């Protein structure tokens, strides 16, 4: 009796799924509903974490703040020009991944205030500058001795 009910309920869930979409219940899509409900994990922050940041579980503001913070740290690290290659690769990867994610957040159709838009742009700038710094530091270390700067 019980097993039968299980067997019946399994395929019917799938059917409901299809019907649900067909009946215009797309807004009830469980995945979106779940990620919409995630709130920013930063203590005291009442903003929601958008689906594009489900992995990070932070709001857009705190996402940009965390990138800015990491960038400032990495910039200090690379400024001296003696960061190991391994570390430089990590930083490079961080820049690319953060940039991609930020672009996804910015273009995902979220309602963003002008302040937030400006903040996203300045975070892009921070990422670009860090990348430039890294390249410059690399150039110094590879051409520094022969004096071939550019
Ligand atoms: Zn937040």
Ligand 1 mean position, distance from CA 47 (Å):
5
φ/ψ of residue 45, rounded to 5: -85, 130
Ligand 1 mean position, distance from CA 37 (Å):
13
Ligand 1 mean position, distance from CA 114 (Å):
17
- Domain-by-domain residue ranges, the chain? 58-143
Cβ within 8 Å of residue 150, ≥6 positions away? 139
Ligand 1 mean position, distance from CA 107 (Å):
19
Strand partners, 48: 39
- The pLDDT of 113-122, averaged and rounded, is 97
pLDDT tens column, 13-68? 444 444 444 444 444 444 444 444 689 999 999 999 999 998 999 999 999 999 99
User: Could you please report the per-residue DSSP string of 63-97?
Assistant: HHHHHHHHHHHHHHHHHTS---HHHHHHHHHHHHH
DSSP H or E stretch at residue 143: helix 114-143
Q: Is 38 left (phi over 0), alpha (psi -120 to 50) or beta?
A: beta
Ligand 1 mean position, distance from CA 104 (Å):
18
Ligand 1 mean position, distance from CA 60 (Å):
7
Ligand 1 mean position, distance from CA 25 (Å):
30
What is the C-alpha separation between 45 and 86, in angstroms, rounded?
Answer: 35
- The pLDDT of 121-134, averaged and rounded, is 96
């Amino acid at each position: 009796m019980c097993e039968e009910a299980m067997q019946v309920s399994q395929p019917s869930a799938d059917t409901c799924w299809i019907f649900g979409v067909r009946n215009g219940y797309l807004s009830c899509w469980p995945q979106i509903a779940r990620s919409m409900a995630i709130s920013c994990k930063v203590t005291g922050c009442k903003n929601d974490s958008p689906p594009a940041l489900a992995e990070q579980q932070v709001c857009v503001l705190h996402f940009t703040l965390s990138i800015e913070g990491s960038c400032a740290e990495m910039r200090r690290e690379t400024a001296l020009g003696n960061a190991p290659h391994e570390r430089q690769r990590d930083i490079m990867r961080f820049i690319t991944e953060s940039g991609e994610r930020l672009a996804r957040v910015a273009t995902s159709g979220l309602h963003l205030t002008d302040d937030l838009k400006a903040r996203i742009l300045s975070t892009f700038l921070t990422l670009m500058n860090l990348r430039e710094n890294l390249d410059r530091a690399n150039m110094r270390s590879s051409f520094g001795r022969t004096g071939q700067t550019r």
